[in-house]
Amino acid sequence: MIRCLHLADLHLGWSPGDRDFPSDKAGIRRKERDFVFETLVNWAIDPGNRIDLVIIAGDLFETHTPDPALAEYVLSLLRRLEDAGIRIITVPGNHDEITYHNSVYREYGGEGKWPGVLVRNPMPELVCHFRIKGVPVFIYSLAYTGGLTDVTRITSFPRQDQPGLHIGVFHGSLDWDGISDRSLPLQSQILQGAGYDYVALGHIHKYREMRMGKGLLVYPGLIDSKGFSDLGCGRMTVARFEPQGDLQGGSGFKTSLEHVDIPVREHVVLSVDISAKESPEEIASECKMRARPDAMARIVLSGVPSFNVDPERLRASLMEHFFWVEIEDESSFLESDDIMRFAEEPTIRGCFVRRLLDRLEDSTSEREKEVLRLALRKGLAAFEER
């Protein structure tokens, strides 16, 4: 059996871009995400895990110009794989695109410098072939290159008419409409026509697997999160290829998958119904009872409060109880009976509320209504000197 560790979209060098994220914690997140790659390499070179081949299907780095120290660190890890006798295939992605003259793959990928095989050809072709445990292995791929990769001409994919294990490796979007060339549009029907035993994909961050004739197509997914809008799967994917009968007779391979959990920082979403809460302090108290000091937390407020909620003040009061906190306020303050009571007041506040309610009633634009609701909420907070 041949065992292949299929990686993609590690985005090494990424750190939180939120301007409110403390620089010390942003540094911690960057380092621990980058260390995931070392964890993967250590696991792969452990003889007990029997890894023969490592495929990196694009976006190894967050940008095409990572910090030189990070690039050298990654190269040292790749050399460890190579020294352990493990074959390596690296494909540039769209974040770390090879197009640019100062791309990491041009700076460090000179002849013989990049460990294993670095894919550089702009159109699909057989990039290498070798033997693993006596089995011929054929790798087909391309590196998207602006001005050279013509996606309109990719109407078929190459495949040698020889017995062995045939693997396609591509960083692109499968069967998605309306995407740009740089996302490398891929058609499953065309890929199926190539008859690959396995298609190792990258670019889509959610795990996906799909049977394709006798073969298997897989997106391994993002391992460690890039924020709540891009949560990682916390595991790596190993493809196992078991020869079936006589390869010369075209019996092919039985392909199966194995998933191995990887320790990453926990991300939690806490829903808090604030309808029955009497004060902001009660909201904070419930959140603190559910605190996880090492977790990235998103707290979602729902319901109809009887008082004005200040998300930023709430967030500030919780920061020491979590590694990171963000507040998503989905409460419906405007449904409160207090609004109508305010509108009946013979006061400046009453006049303000009546004017905004009238404008809300007359508005036909959802965007304008959203702005008006926010203005009403902020205005009422201002009247309370908050």
Number of domains in the chain: 3
Distance between CA 202 and CA 60 in Å, rounded? 10
Residue whose C-alpha is closest to residue 12's, from 54, 57, 67: 67
Judge if 142 and 208 occupy the same domain: yes
* Domain range for 274: 266-331
For 135, list phi and psi in degrees, rounded to 5.
-95, 125
Q: Interior CA angle at 78 toward 51 and 145, to 5°?
A: 105
Judge if 207 and 248 occupy the same domain: yes
Per-residue pLDDT of the chain (386 residues; tens, 9 = 90+): 999 999 999 999 999 877 778 888 999 999 999 999 999 999 999 999 999 999 999 999 999 999 999 999 999 999 999 999 999 999 999 999 999 999 999 999 887 799 999 999 999 999 999 999 999 999 999 999 999 999 999 999 999 999 999 999 999 999 988 788 888 999 999 999 999 999 999 999 999 999 988 889 999 999 999 999 999 999 999 999 998 876 655 568 889 999 999 999 999 999 999 888 888 899 999 999 999 999 999 999 988 776 778 888 999 999 999 999 999 988 876 556 778 888 899 999 999 999 999 999 999 988 898 888 878 877 877 786 65
245-277 burial, b at 16+ Cβ within 10 Å, e below that, comes to eebeeeebbebeeeeeebebbebeebebebeeb
Judge if 242 and 119 occupy the same domain: yes
Judge if 128 and 60 occupy the same domain: yes
Judge if 49 and 183 occupy the same domain: yes
Write the CATH number for 293. 3.30.110
Distance between CA 65 and CA 208 in Å, rounded? 29
pTM of the model: 0.84
Helices (H), the chain: 23-45, 68-83, 104-107, 188-194, 280-289, 311-318, 337-343, 348-362, 366-383
For residues 239 and 263, the answer to whether their CB atoms sit within 8 Å is no
> Domain boundary residue among 331, 347, 366?
331
